[in-house]
Structures are given as C-alpha cells and as structure tokens.
Structure 1
Amino acid sequence: MKLVTCGLPYANGKLHVGHLRTYIPADVYVRFLRLMNEKVIFVCGSDCHGTPIVVNAEKEGLSPKEIVEKYHEHFQRVFNKLNIIFDYFGKTTEDYHHRRTREIVERLIKNGYIYSKEIELAYCERCERFLPDRYVEGICPYCKSPARGDECDQGCGRHLEPGEILEPRCKICGSPAIFRRRKHYFFKLTAFQEFLRDYLSKLSGTQNAINYAKEWVENLKDWCITRDLEWGVRFPLDESLVLYVWVDAPIGYISFTEQFTKDWEEIWIRGNAEIIHFIGLDIAYHHCIFWPAMLKGADYALPTAVVASGMVKIEGKTFSKSRGYVVWVEEEYLKAGFNPDYLRYYIVNYTSHEKDLNFSWDVFRDKVNNEVIATLGNFLFRILSFAWKNFEKVRMNVDEEILNVIAQTRDKVVNAVKRWEFKTATDAIMELASYGNAYFQNSKPWELIKVDREKAEKVVANALQIAKALIILNYPVMPGSMEKIAKAMGLNVSNCSLEDVAKVEEELVIAKPELPFEKIEEKDIEPLKMAIVERFSEKPEISIEEFKKIDIRIAKIVKAERIPKSKKLLKLTLDLGNEKKQVVAGIAENHNPEELIGKLVAVVCNLKPAKIMGVESQGMVLAADVNGKAVLLVPESDVSPGAKVR
C-alpha cells in the first residue's frame, strides 16, 4: 500500500505553472503505480489558514471563509481540467480536520513536547494588535534581506521565529512596530535532533530535499506554534490563540486520508504503508524537519519518501508574480484552448524532477510540435489510419524482436518511475515512438500491400503492437489524448495494466482513428508571450535614481511594416537623430503602417534587445492602454528626433 500526497495549495491565489511541478508529476506517478497494479491512495486539499489569507481577505473586503471557498473551487476546477484526479481533496477548515489537529497537539502536550514562555512580538500601536507572520515585514536578522515575519522569502530562505525580524513595520498600515511581551507556546524541536539525523539518513525520495534538510538539523531551535489570530485551529491550552499554519496544514494529509478510508490507522498509526510526499523544494524544511518531528512526538507513522521538485523560471527569468514572470493556468493556458496533456508532458519531460524548469512558450511549442505531434502522434495516427483503411481485421502475428523492444522500454519506464525520474521514463516512451516511426517508414507497407498482402499485414501487426504499448505506457502522462486514440483499437486504456503492454491479441479490428493532437502555431502563443512582456512593464515603485537609468527619447517613425502571421505586431524603424533603431510594437490592431510614417513617438532606448516573432526589438514604443486599444504617446509640438524625455 502507498499513500501519495501533494503539498496543499494555499487558498489565497490562483494556480500558476510553478504550482504544477508538484501536482502533475504526482498524478503521473500515481497513474503509473496503478498501471503496475499497486494499491495507492492519492490525497490533497486546500491549505486554508494563516495570516496571508486574513490579510488578503481584508484587502478584498471579504471574510477569510469567502476567500478560501473562492480558491478551493478554483483548485478543484483546474485540477479536473488537467486530469489531476485525487481520491480525496479536502479543506483544512473542516471540523474533521480541526478535531484531528487538536488530537495530535494534545498528544504532543501529553508527551511533554510543548511548553510556554513569554516572548517579544511585533505590535502595531496604531492598529492596536500583535503582528503575526505576514502582518509584519522587516529585515532578516541572518542575511539582512527584506523579509516577512515568518520567512526570509527574498534572501536566505530561513524560517523566522516570532520576534526575530529586524526593523519591523505593520503590513496593514505601514507604521513602525514596537515589541511587546506575550506568552506563546513552543514545540521542543531541539529534542528531536538525533532522531532527525537518523531519519534523514534513511529517508527516501529526491536528494535535493534530504540535503537541504540536513543543512538545518545542526542548528535547530524550538518552534513557536501559536499565533495571535482569530482565523485558524484553536490551541487547546489557550483558546485566544490559534495554531501556526505549518502545524495544522500537513495534518491535512492525515485528516484527508481519514475521510477517504476507514483503514486510515493502518497507514498513519500502525505504519503499514509507504507515505510519499510530493512537494516543492521551498517547503522541504517543513516536511523534512518540522513534520516528522511532530509525527514522532505524537506517536504517528513517518513519511518514507519526500519528492521535491526544482524551482520554475519563466522565459529564463526567476519566477515572480510581482514582476510579471508568471503563467496562469486557467486564465492563460486553458483559456487559450491548449490540450492539457501538452502541459503535463512539458512539466515531466523538460528536465529531471530535481532540476529547475524553465517554462518558455517557444520551447513549449517546439516540444509539442516536434515530440508529441511529429514523433508520437504521427506514428499512432499513421499506423491506425493505414490499418483502418486497408484491413477489416489484422491477425496479430508479432515478431519476437518487436516484443523484446517493447519489453525493454517497459522495464526502462518502470525503473525510472520508481526512482521518480519522470524525464527518463518519458524519454524512453518517445524513443519507442521513434523506433515505431522508423520501422513503419522503412518497411513501407503502402508499397508492400500491392505485392504481398500477408507481409504487409505482418508489418501492420508489429506496428500496432508498438502503438498499443505506446498508448498504455503514455496514458499516465497524457490520459485524455491516449483515451481518445485508444478507441480506434477498441482499447479501454484506463483499465489496462503493464501486463497488457506486451500481451498479443489474436486479431484486432481497427476503427477510424481521431487525430489526438493539434499543432501549435506562432499565432497561438504570441498573445501569451506579449502578456508576460506587458506584465513585466507593470513595475513596483522605484527610486528617482532607478528611474534615471531609463533612457526615454523622442523618435520619428521612418518605416512601418506588418510582421507575417501576427495580428498585433508591427516592425518599426525609428530615427533617433544620431542613430536608427528597430522596434517591435504591439499596435497593429489600432494603427495602419502607412499612417505612422513621420509620426513622433516616445521610446525606451536602453532595453536589452529581445526577439519577438523572430524579429529583433531594440527598444519599446510607449503607448497608453485605453479600453484595450494602444494610444501612442506623442509630443504636443515638434521635437527633434533624439530629444530626451525628462
């Protein structure tokens, strides 16, 4: 028995591509386990407590419960569209979760692992409140980077205990905070140092998580587990306090399992299952140190593996929602109408699970078109179409050599999946597709059928067996597409197992196949690339010194032409007095090229050159966005080209 969990998505915002490095590989892994006939339970849910939700609710004029419901529904909707299917997807606001959390904390109290002491906490005199976690901002005491109350998110990544942050200020009103004394409760994390050393030496999973955790074990501090908030799980010894979100959130793995199966104690109390956590590397500290220590102290079973993904970059830049380097799953990817399986494949195949993943729309298009469509889709559709058009039924007299190649691929895939090496597994599947393409092309059954129908049927049988193997092996990665193409073979792929990969039927009747994939064109991704550029231009506040670095000048448009295959973009040649620049501008929908000649415009001249639709852009023409229309910024009187904007 295996229990697979995913780090709980925080019910404070929408899903972006970065989130999916946890959820897609976990779903792929679970589907492979079921393909291997392993018994597995897959649980997750919304993480619904903590200060960010309260802060966001106050900003939006909603209650924390309303914020949670809004994003919980969003998570469920998007996961379903991406074929990420959990056995149970819960919420940490539910009564059953609060009961289980309090039971575990009461065990820790009974076992002597929780104590109280007075500490100094940030307090806002203007708001008349203590400032837990993200209610306070300041400076990290370790690396001196800007930090939040509970985490140095922009610097060293350390967890910060209440009262540690330097130069605190209130997140709500911006006022400097003072420190006041207040009794809070602590978990004796230091009592588990030897246990954690031993535990981490035996823990399975990805090495990045284990190594990251080992760095922190030698400098453990007891952990403040209570907060001055109204929103959360009440602390049993003082109902005016709630538990820190990182106490109750992972307990969701237990409470959700408890809701799904009456045999939950076999997993979490008696330890008769492997417990595998899929997470992002940024929460490895919590899952490899806090969480196992809590479980040990409360006499619960321990996780056997922690599988942590690398971080995500967007178009080669460090992921940042505030700076615009983000791709939203529902509003952008799904709204554009892309096949969910394309994203599933990209996430697991771009690089190894532990390494950083770069999401680039151009690379995405190329991987889909060159690998998913030209290699896998091409072979499947060619052989199924040929068999349907030329044979009422195919006698499946398959060569031993073909079966050996299929068996070798199956074994490579299984071994890779067991090591959480999803890129290796999907590469092996694509290699089999390439083998099938080469076999079909070299055998030329379209010529052979004219002179020797029996030999042609033999080729078709071999190719169909490869196709069947590809559909079954690729089902965990691209379930929707494989179900669609499998219908032509009369194959219920969702009920198949690994044994079916090399199982040979006596004969097959092939129906007319459906095209499983559609090619991605440049016009499909152009608006999405531009969206990142436009978001990036929405900068936070900057100093006057930073603004002075921007070189804005007046330029005269001397040439304007449309960019092929683009509805939005024009290529402009600009005269800046002492030089000319070529700029790509997203103004084609509202401006005819011929009307722009001779017009004066403002342009940012010192942007790093970038290629857009294959055309180098050496700057940015400034325009206002008025109801979706680009209105050029022009000087009110004649100005010489090259004049600096001050």
Structure 2
Amino acid sequence: MTRRILVTSALPYANGPIHIGHLVEYIQTDIWVRFQKLIGNRCLYICADDTHGTAIMIRAKKENRSEEELIADMSRQHQRDFADFHVEFDHYGSTNSDSNREYCHQIWKALRDADLITERAIDQLYDPEAETFLADRFVRGTCPVSGHKDQPGDNCVCGATYSPTELIDPKSTLSGATPEIRTAVHLFVELEKLRPFLTQWIDNGDALQKETANYLKGYFLAEDKPLKDWDISRPGPYFGFEIPDSPGNYWYVWFDAPIGYIASTAEWCTANGESIDDWWRSESTEIHHFIGKDITYFHTLFWPGMLHTAGFQLPTKVHIHGFLNVGGEKMSKSTGTLIAAETYQKYAEPDLLRYFYATKLTPRVEDLDLGIDEFVDKVNSDLVGKVVNLASRVGKFAKSTGLSPIYPDDGGLFQNAAQAGDAIAAAYESGDFSRAMRLIMELADAANPFVEHAKPWEMKKDADRQDELRDVVTVALNLFRQLAIYLAPVLPSLAQKCDALLGEPITSWQQSKTPLVGTPVEKFKRMMERIQPEDLQKMIDESKANADAEAATENLPTFNDSDAPLKDEPLADEITIDDFVKVDFRVARVLSAEHVPEANKLLKLTLGLGGDETRQVFAGIKAAYQPEKLVGRLVVMVANLKPRKMRFGLSEGMVCASGPGGEDVFLLAVDEGALPGQRVH
C-alpha cells in the first residue's frame, strides 16, 4: 500500500550561509525522501527559511538594508546551495509569510482557548550598547549547573536548561557588552498543564529514538519537578509577528519557526490544488521531522504540545542526528573547518560528501567525524575504485557491442544482488544509511572480480570472442546499474549518468530486479574523478582565509551612516582618470576672510598657495562660518578653474565643501602637516 509521507528538515536560519555541518541534516533528509519516492511512496519534502528574531534585525541594521531585503537575499543563497548538493524540496518557503502569520494566529487562539497562556513581568538581559533585549542565542556565559564556560543563554552541553539571567559572567554576542537586567512583560505557555499528554506521547509509539525518550522522561518529565513555563514572547524592538492580543510583544522565533512547516505545506497545497487537512489533520499521513540534537527540546515538548492543542497531526517520527566534527574536533572558523557549501564545491563533487555522510549516518543520535584521509580513502576506494570502475572497465567496448538479447549466466551475481535489495531498503527505511552503504559495497566487491577474471580487454582483440565480450559487457553494466539504483538516493547524479549510458531512467527500486537486455549503449564518459588530499587542504585554507577576512571586517567600527545624502544627490556619471586629472586640487591657506555686504550667502576669501601666489575666491559659506574663524585654516581648492567675473569682483577658483547649503555646509579639512600649494591626489 502506498504511504503518504510529509517530511521536514529544521528550517535554516536566514542569518548566514549554509556550511557542511548544516548539510548533514539536509542530505540525510533528502536521501530518505528520495528513497521513499523510489520505492513508490507519495512523499512531500517541505522546508523554509527561519527569518525572524533579533539577529536578523541587528544584521540588517548593520548592513543598512531592510530585514525583508536581507532574508530574500539569504533565501536565494540557501536555495542555491541546497540545489548544488542535490537537495530537492517540493516547496521552500519563509516564516515571514502571510501563510505563516495565519497559522500562528490559529495556534495562538487554540492555546488561549485552552487556558495555556499566562503573562508576568520577568527580568531579562538587555544589551545597553546594541539597545535591545537579548535572545538566548545572543548571550554566552558559564553554565550555572556544571560550570562549563562559553555556553548559550538557554542550555548547556551538559544537558542543563536555565534562564539567561542565571548564567555566570554573561556577555552579549552582539557587542561584547555585559548585559543589564531589565524588567519586561512576557507571555508563557504553561507546559505543566500538558504533562499528561506529553508523557503519554513519549511513552507510546515509535516517534522518538529510545535514548531521546529516556532523556526527556528523566530530565524534563521527572515526577519530582514541574515542567517550566515556555517563554513564548519577546518585547520590541523585534523582527517578527506582533502578538495580536498583546501589542508591543512579538512571538518568539521558536513559536513561529515550526509553524512554518504547516504554512509551507499550505502554500504547496494551494499551488497544487490539495487540502492542507489531508497532510496535517489526517491519521493516514505520516509526518517525519529531521532535526539536530541541539533542538530536541523544542521538537519533542513544545511542538507536540502546540500541535495537540490546535488539533493538528502529531509527528510520526522525529529523526535526531548528532553534530559534525572535522578531524575529531568541533568545526571552527579559526581552523578553516567550518567550510561553506559554496567553498566546498570549488574543490570536490557534492556527491562525494553525500556518500561520505551516508556511510556515517545511523538511526542513533551520534556525532559524525569527517577526517581528510578517511574521506579521500573512502570515496576513492568505494565510488571510483569499486562502483564506477565496474562500468569504466567495460564502457569503452559497450557502444560497439550493445547488450545481449538474453541475460547471460553470471554465476548468480545479478540474482543475489536483486535479493539483497530488500535488506538495503530496510536499512534506508530505518535511517541506517551506514548499513545500506556497507551492503551495497559488498555487492560491488562481489561484482568486480567477474570483470577482472573475464578480461574483456583481451576479448576485444580476438574477433572470434565478440559474442563472449558482449555477454561480459551485459553482465558488468547490469551489475553496475543495480548499484546505481541502490545508490540513487545518495548519488542522484550517478543515477543520471547511468541513464545516459544505458538509455533507461532510474525511476523505481523494482528496476533492480530485472536486467536490461538487447538495448544499445551510448559512448562511455568518465563518471567520477578521484579526490586528492591537497584539494581538501586547499578548501580548508580558503575557509580559514575567508574567516580571517570576515573577522577583520567585523572588528571595524560601525557608524550607521544615513543613505539620505546619496539619495538626495545621486552619484554623477562615471568619468575617466584623464577627466579627473584635468582638475587641479590644491591645499590653500585662508589668508583673509570678510563679508560681502551686497551678497546674502557669500564670503570673500583670499587663499594663499605658498610664497606670493594667492587667489581671490567667493564662497557660498556665509551662513555656516564666521570670517574671523577661517583665517589661517587650510582648505582644498580647485586652483585651475577659469576665473569668473562677478559683480562683487573676480572669483579665481572654488573651495571644496559638502552639505546641502545654508547652515549645513562643511569645508573639507586638511590634516596637520599638509602645505599650501601641495596637489591633492
């Protein structure tokens, strides 16, 4: 029976680029979705950018653009990076959408109607330099439970959760300032009222991995302590949705972000003529969330509670994965191991990373480690040396021979591989991609000796052995095709290359059960290149250089200059350097300055260019400067401007100033040490 499955990944935050640590989750999810589609299930993969919060507001202000401009730009970058790594969404939306606002209102009303919302004044950390209340993620300090240093404002690596105000020696990550404690009204969800439901949901069914369920029951749902109320609001200024019945307060990003799953599904339904209730209010639909272990708390307590209260379908399964380490260490910008997706693909094929992750991913909540030597050895040995090698060793002969009309005797290789498909499928289904890859490589190990022993390159030289050669080609390419089918969820580009070679698209898992016979074969093209350790080192070196440059930029002072002057007076048309050098800018000293009685705006200046060389200039700066305060000052003048006869006298140049005029005129200053007569370059 065909299953209807809705799949989500955690929504990437729209405050930075996608890196290889993020990609663990999206590649894992994409592999599982592709497998479901390949075996014939109806599977919908939904995602969106998480766009609200203080970080977005601060960054947009720093970059002198609106939050909407920032999140639109990041969405384009995110979707580009995902596409480059063959992560295919059925719909990719944004939490800053009308659809998401609508569902936020629905769920909020349900929480209100269920008497789950309370409000009270609380002490909250406030950054006096950034002039904003600080979200949990923008505070770092020492854990009040374990003493671990440099921990975020809501939870520690030790598993403890706490309020940001409980941190020891807190610091704002926005400015480095020590936060102040200020009082503000917040709204809360009384989670303790949902304890009976949450306990039952965690105890019954297979929604959570065993270790996750035990962790939740032991730490959060222990009978000796009540569940903490969930702080669901933030006071303005805040980029997000204002709470309709609490003006001045905004829904915390962790309220509207998961609701984005529903909102993005609704957008897909509208575009495809389907009902949202079939996907989010039907027991016949499975809902699968893929998330990292750091957001377990939100997806296994808050989110089910919201869904249950508002009458939406609960998750069928929450697939939780660990973090990515590189070389046994936490990813770090300073070491170059926090590698952006955009940087990675300059040096290595995305499919190689997809395969490497697949060899590491299991149903357990375990961290992954990417070691350069292991990465190189594994992808070169498995993919190039075993899988692609099977096709490349007969590919040069295949176009001339085609495939045999009847599948030859191969000693049971094809049949054994076809039977192995069930075990491989079960491994994919359970999320044990590591086991699936081992089983597939065992098939590759069994298939390659067939070609090695047959020696088709020798058959090619013997005219009497061409039928035998065609049989070897037929077996080898069919065994390769089986591997390509089994690897299609992981290596979609290899599946496409197999299609181009053999002329039949890989569209179904069942294709692995039946060999191709009697069809032509296209000219063989190289399918994959070996990766070299020096390529990965270059990747790390570039990442480190990028991080160093970014750090240098971040340390520059910010001035928040207005764009109004540039808008009022846009830049002039471009000129060449030849045009520019025609203007002779010189340093000049104001020798005398006096009012021009007949003029409302002008001062009469005598400018000295050194020695006896002087110029008389009439400047429209009367409203801004007292004449006596200008004497002795160094200014910049245009010295080769054609003299202009005015009714007050001859003006022999122009002084340089900025501003719109009147009192808002500002003479360009010259640093101490400059001399009259020097040219300004």
TM-score (norm 2): 0.73
Alpha-carbon offset, residue 293 of structure 1: 1.4
SS in 2 for 1:238: coil
SS in 2 for 1:458: helix
Change in CA separation of 1:497 and 1:286 when aligned onto 2, cut-off 3 Å: same
Q: Are 2:350 and 1:350 aligned?
A: no
CA deviation vs aligned residue, 1:376-408 (integer Å, no higher than 9, x gap): 11112223333224x144223244823321222
- Out of 305, 312, 321, the position equivalent to 2:324 is 312
Alpha-carbon offset, residue 536 of structure 1: 9.0
Alpha-carbon offset, residue 457 of structure 1: 3.6
Q: Are 2:470 and 1:462 aligned?
A: no
- Out of 68, 90, 102, the position equivalent to 2:93 is 90
Q: Which residue of 1 aligns with 2:202?
A: 200
Q: Which residue of 2 aligns with 1:115?
A: 118
Change in CA separation of 1:208 and 1:86 when aligned onto 2, cut-off 3 Å: farther
Q: Which residue of 1 aligns with 2:423?
A: 412
SS in 2 for 1:508: coil
Q: Are 2:201 and 1:191 aligned?
A: no
Mean Cα deviation higher: 341-350 or 20-29: 341-350
Change in CA separation of 1:448 and 1:10 when aligned onto 2, cut-off 3 Å: same
Letter in 2 for 1:179: I
Q: Distance in 2 between matches of 1:533 and 1:128?
A: 32
Letter in 1 for 2:221: V
- Out of 236, 258, 261, the position equivalent to 2:266 is 258
Aligned partners of 1:361 and 1:529 also within 8 Å: no
Change in CA separation of 1:418 and 1:173 when aligned onto 2, cut-off 3 Å: closer
Q: Are 2:250 and 1:247 aligned?
A: no
Letter in 1 for 2:346: K
Q: Percent identity?
A: 31
Mean Cα deviation higher: 392-401 or 14-23: 392-401
Q: Which residue of 2 aligns with 1:440?
A: 451
Alignment of 1:298-447 (within 5 A): 298-321=310-333, 324-330=336-342, 332-336=343-347, 338-352=348-362, 354=364, 355-389=366-400, 391-399=401-409, 401-447=412-458
Change in CA separation of 1:427 and 1:137 when aligned onto 2, cut-off 3 Å: closer
Query: Which structure 1 segments of 5+ residues have no match?
Result: 542-646
SS in 2 for 1:276: strand
Q: Distance in 2 between matches of 1:135 and 1:452?
A: 72
Letter in 2 for 1:305: K
Mean Cα deviation higher: 355-364 or 76-85: 355-364
Aligned partners of 2:497 and 2:527 also within 8 Å: yes
SS in 2 for 1:396: coil
Change in CA separation of 1:373 and 1:30 when aligned onto 2, cut-off 3 Å: same
Q: Are 2:173 and 1:182 aligned?
A: no
Change in CA separation of 1:194 and 1:62 when aligned onto 2, cut-off 3 Å: same
Letter in 2 for 1:265: D
Alpha-carbon offset, residue 344 of structure 1: 0.9
Mean Cα deviation higher: 358-367 or 82-91: 358-367
Letter in 1 for 2:476: A
Q: Which residue of 2 aligns with 1:487?
A: 500
Q: Distance in 1 between matches of 2:457 and 2:141?
A: 72
Letter in 1 for 2:191: L
Query: Which structure 2 segments of 5+ residues have no match?
Result: 553-681
Alpha-carbon offset, residue 410 of structure 1: 1.0
SS in 2 for 1:484: helix
Q: Are 2:514 and 1:503 aligned?
A: yes
Q: Which residue of 1 aligns with 2:291?
A: 279
Q: Are 2:482 and 1:478 aligned?
A: no
Q: Distance in 2 between matches of 1:441 and 1:17?
A: 37
Q: Which residue of 2 aligns with 1:562?
A: none
Q: Distance in 1 between matches of 2:131 and 2:351?
A: 51
- Out of 300, 313, 317, the position equivalent to 1:288 is 300
Q: Distance in 1 between matches of 2:318 and 2:478?
A: 36
Letter in 1 for 2:428: V
Q: Are 2:221 and 1:217 aligned?
A: yes
SS in 1 for 2:145: coil
Q: Distance in 2 between matches of 1:162 and 1:299?
A: 32
Q: Which residue of 1 aligns with 2:241?
A: 233
CA deviation vs aligned residue, 1:456-504 (integer Å, no higher than 9, x gap): 44333322321221222211111112202321111112xx211111223
Aligned partners of 2:354 and 2:491 also within 8 Å: yes
Alignment of 1:24-63 (within 5 A): 24-63=27-66
Q: Distance in 2 between matches of 1:51 and 1:539?
A: 21
Aligned partners of 1:161 and 1:223 also within 8 Å: no
SS in 1 for 2:125: strand
Alpha-carbon offset, residue 34 of structure 1: 0.8
Mean Cα deviation higher: 34-43 or 364-373: 364-373
Q: Distance in 1 between matches of 2:101 and 2:22?
A: 26
SS in 2 for 1:504: coil
Q: Distance in 1 between matches of 2:137 and 2:473?
A: 63
Aligned partners of 1:196 and 1:293 also within 8 Å: yes
Change in CA separation of 1:93 and 1:448 when aligned onto 2, cut-off 3 Å: same
Aligned partners of 2:208 and 2:319 also within 8 Å: yes
Q: Distance in 1 between matches of 2:67 and 2:20?
A: 25
Q: Which residue of 1 aligns with 2:587?
A: none
Q: Which residue of 2 aligns with 1:610?
A: none
Aligned partners of 2:403 and 2:474 also within 8 Å: no
Q: Distance in 2 between matches of 1:514 and 1:205?
A: 45
SS in 2 for 1:520: coil
Aligned partners of 2:9 and 2:46 also within 8 Å: yes
CA deviation vs aligned residue, 1:17-41 (integer Å, no higher than 9, x gap): 1101100011111111111000110
Q: Distance in 2 between matches of 1:172 and 1:437?
A: 57
Letter in 1 for 2:378: K
Letter in 1 for 2:388: G
Aligned partners of 1:413 and 1:428 also within 8 Å: yes
Alignment of 1:69-88 (within 5 A): 69-88=72-91
Change in CA separation of 1:129 and 1:441 when aligned onto 2, cut-off 3 Å: closer
Instruction: Tell which structure's C-alpha radius of gyration is larger.
Output: 2
Aligned partners of 2:386 and 2:445 also within 8 Å: yes
CA deviation vs aligned residue, 1:245-269 (integer Å, no higher than 9, x gap): 1111111111111111232212212
Letter in 2 for 1:359: L
TM-score (norm 1): 0.77
Aligned partners of 2:60 and 2:66 also within 8 Å: yes
Q: Distance in 2 between matches of 1:483 and 1:149?
A: 44
Letter in 2 for 1:489: L
Alpha-carbon offset, residue 367 of structure 1: 1.8
SS in 2 for 1:394: coil
Q: Are 2:530 and 1:527 aligned?
A: no
Change in CA separation of 1:428 and 1:126 when aligned onto 2, cut-off 3 Å: closer
SS in 2 for 1:286: helix
Alpha-carbon offset, residue 517 of structure 1: 0.4
Q: Which residue of 1 aligns with 2:103?
A: 100
Q: Distance in 2 between matches of 1:477 and 1:392?
A: 28
Residue-pair matches, total: 535
Letter in 2 for 1:7: A
CA deviation vs aligned residue, 1:303-345 (integer Å, no higher than 9, x gap): 0111112211112211234664312110x21123x22211111
Q: Distance in 1 between matches of 2:101 and 2:526?
A: 49
Aligned partners of 1:213 and 1:284 also within 8 Å: no
Q: Distance in 1 between matches of 2:233 and 2:262?
A: 21
CA deviation vs aligned residue, 1:492-535 (integer Å, no higher than 9, x gap): 12xx2111112234412111111110122344233224346768
